[in-house]
Amino acid sequence: MTAPLNRNLKILVVDDFSTMRRIVKNLLNELGFSDITEADDGKTALPLLQAGQFDFVITDWNMPGMPGIELLRHIRADERLKGIPVLMVTAEAQREQIIEAAKAGVSGYIVKPFTGVTLKEKLDKIFERYAQAA
């Protein structure tokens, strides 16, 4: 049983590849989400997060400027942002990297290449967990 998705969520998609941002955005649209903002690395994402009421972050790991893992650490260290679920979607498949992300407080981890089904599954799971915690 999955909790019903709240389609009004404000989502930030962070990836240095514009094609990937569009793909994730397209998938999210298909899932019924329309309030989506894009950022091309952690450095541009962080001020957006601090300024806006974002409910969810989907981020790549390997980006110039500020990588996703650092963005995650900043989010978790920020009193106002630390509660936002962060889903990492990355080509980095090293076990030590996944452990590092888990220790930094990642909410979900998707290894590229991935499918729309995987994204939906992870979103459901994260929302379910947050709904239970709330």
Partner 1 sequence: MDDGKSSGLSPEAEQAARNELLGRLRDMTQALEQGDDLLFAERLQDLLRRREDSFFLRIAQLTQDLRAAFTALESDSRWNALASELPDAGARLDHVLQLTEKAAHRTLDLVEESQAELAALGATAQNISSSRARLHMAAGSSPALAQLAGDLESIERALIATQGQLRHRLSELAMAQEYQDLSGQLLKRVTGVIREVERELMKLLSQRSGAQERGAGADTGLQGPAVPGLEKAGAVSGQDDADALLAMFM
Task: Write down the least CB distance from residue 28 to partner 1, Å.
Answer: 11
* Contact region with partner 1 (CB under 8 A), list: 34-42, 51-59, 78-86, 96-104: 96-104
DSSP 7-33: TT--EEEE-S-HHHHHHHHHHHHHTT-
How far is Cα 24 from Cα 116, in angstroms, rounded to an integer? 9
- Span from 4-12, 20-28, 43-51, 71-79 in contact with partner 1 (CB under 8 A): 20-28
131 lies in the site for partner 1, by CB under 8 A: no
Residue 100 corresponds to which amino acid? E
CA dihedral in degrees (82, 134, 86, 44; nearest 10)?
-50
* Pairing, β 56-59 against β 86-90: parallel
Give the single-character DSSP code of 104.
T
What would the x/- binding string for partner 1 be over residues 37 to 76, using CB under 8 A? ------------------------xx----x---------
In the complex, the residues that contact partner 1 under the rule CB under 8 A are: 15, 17-20, 22-23, 26-27, 29-30, 61-62, 67, 91-99, 101-103, 106, 108-116, 118
